[in-house]
Structure 1
Amino acid sequence: MVAVVSAPTNLGLRPPVRGSVPGTAKAPEALREAGLHRLLHARGAVDGGIVLPGRYVDDDGRRPPGMVRNQAALVDHARRLAHRLFEIRESGEAPLVLGGDCSLVIGAGLASRVGGGGGLVHIDGHTDFRHPGNSDAVASVAGEDLAAAIGLHLPELSDIDGLAPYFSPGQTAHVGCRYADPHADELRGIIGLVVPADDVILHGGARAAARVRAVEGLERGYWIQVDVDVLDPAHMPAVDSPDPGGLSPDELIGLLAALAPHAWGAAVTVFDPDLDPDGVHARTVVDVVAEGLGELGSAAGD
């Protein structure tokens, strides 16, 4: 059974303009308004509640060196989200987290480490692999979440409560980056598998999913992190960093539908309702989630 959790955080994103607030915090309720909860509940999903973030602060120019924006609030939210996900997993349900930005993978990683482990399937239009070892511009965890998840970010983020790495690099797969991603080559040498978007477009989502599940360790289950900017901007422009060359909704649905039954949980992130004033792109996300993740956890443990 799926338990739907709202986690409306925007703490890991840069502000759209100086002094403003990213709109991803509005995503869970925008998706509710577009009918997602009705569809999921009709299939037997239950309400997993809400994990509220702390206040977003645009602290550029005032943040001490060696810290990311909203660091203390982000760590606090990760701990509280992890507690909720652990409880849901222990109850035998599969958490489906509606974000929010993709810093949510830290909370999922903490829950994974204390709740029985598992791998990570990171589906994103970018590798999100910026970290202190390859960049002097570390600041926004939503562009650095994969690095944090496998233990390569600042220890304050990647080693919360001494639990690094949250996911073993060898049991981590990334799907969906563009070939021009600046960190793709580095990532290929560190994690179990990297599948660019072009490969999914050429060969289909089911084949990509089979490659993912063949990674050693992932056959025992995994967390799915889906950033909707994996979709091409022609289909999903309502994200903070749209890049051409992404998937179609049907391609993403095919990928997710093949992966979801064997996952213990998933998160869907980075949809920004502020960039979707008429709600048309919310309906695209609703279709992807309902059709792609509707069987989340149904075969976990098989």
Structure 2
Amino acid sequence: MIAIVSAPTNLGLRPPRAGSVPGTAKAPEALRETGLYEALQSRGARDAGAVIPGRYEDDPGRDPRTLRNQVAIAEHARRLAARVVDIRRRGDVPLVLGGDCSLVIAAGMASRVTERGGLVHVDGHTDFRHPGNTSAIGALAGEDLAAAIGRHLPEIADLDGLGPYFDAEATAHIGCRRDDEHLDEVSETIALTIPADRIVLHGAARAAADVLATPRLERGFWLQVDVDVLDPEHMPAVDSPDPGGLSPEELTRLLQELAPRAWGASVTVFDPDLDPTGAYAREVAEIVATGLCRLGSEYAS
């Protein structure tokens, strides 16, 4: 049974402008308003509640060697990881609706505790900034893949001694643009990297097959889906829209192929503040309902 967890965090993002906060914290309720939760529950899912984050603080005077909202992110990750572990111990499959992609830290902590395998990171960016390749760290939502495999500050990449949360050899990234500044580094570091243009050229089914054939991903993985993998023509309601992304149909097909082998998933970075009519919330809801409805159905624990 899928267990839906709301994780309305915006802690990993930069403020859109001085004095404001990112709108991703509103995403779970915006998706609920579309009828997504009811649609999933009609297929046997259950609502597993919400894990509420601490208060967002931009803190422009923070030490530049630290992350924005670092303490709050760590605390939220611990509580969300505990919820995910509880869901798995009940025999259910967690579907975490965020929020921003700092949620990968919680998924990684839960993965280490339950020995659940690798990570498939679907995102329009590599999210691979880290202290080894830039002095401008600060927003974990642009650094989560690096943190997930241990390439970041130990205060976030090794919480409670659990890092690295995912082994690089058991990690795949799908969907960055060809001009991503960290593409070469990521390709050299993790097991599999598939830029968006390869999916557009060869199809989502081919990309999914490559993932499922990757050693150490065959036995299962956490599926992290950042909706900025979509082209802005279809999904402009994200903090960093970049051209060259997937269509809703391509993303849906990709998820349909991957989701059955995943032991859990998170969906992130949709920003309702950029969606005044609700049209993009409905688009995300349709992708989730169709692409992830068989989440975990073929996962062998």
TM-score above 0.5, yes or no: yes
C-alpha separation in 2, matches of 1:69 and 1:25: 16
CA distance in 2, matches of 1:151, 1:48: 29
Q: For residue 300 of structure 1, give the secondary structure of its aligned residue in structure 2.
A: coil
**Displacement, 1:204?**
1.1
CA positional deviation for 1:298: 0.6
Alpha-carbon offset, residue 64 of structure 1: 2.1
- Report the secondary structure of 2:263's partner residue: strand
**What are the equivalent positions in structure 2 for 1:138-217 lying under 5 Å apart?**
138-217=137-216
Deviations along 1:52-108, one digit per CA (max 9) or x if unpaired, are: 000000101x11242110000000000000000001011111100000000000000
For 2:78 and 2:199, locate their aligned partners in 1 and report how far apart those are by CA, in whole Å: 34
- 1:71 corresponding residue in structure 2: 70
**Structure 2 partner of 1:96:** 95
Q: In structure 2, what is the Cα distance between the partners aligned to 1:164 and 1:53?
A: 21
Q: Which residue of 2 aligns with 1:118?
A: 117
Write the mapping of 1:1-302 to structure 2, written as runs, cut at 5 A: 1-60=1-60, 62-301=61-300
Which amino acid counterpart does residue 287 of structure 1 have in structure 2? E
**SS of residue in 2 equivalent to 1:247:** coil
The alignment of Structure 1 onto Structure 2 pairs a total of residues equal to: 301
| SS of equivalent residue, structure 1 residue 48 | strand
Inter-partner Cα distance in structure 2 for 1:209 and 1:274: 32
Deviations 1:203-255 (A, max 9, x none): 11111011011111101100000000000000000000000000000000000
- TM-score when normalising by structure 1: 0.99
* TM-score relative to the length of structure 2: 0.99
Q: 5+ residue gaps in structure 2?
A: none
What's the C-alpha RMSD, in Å, of the aligned pairs? 0.7
Over 2 Å off, 4+ runs: none
Secondary structure of 1:218's aligned partner: coil
Percent sequence identity over matched residues? Answer: 67
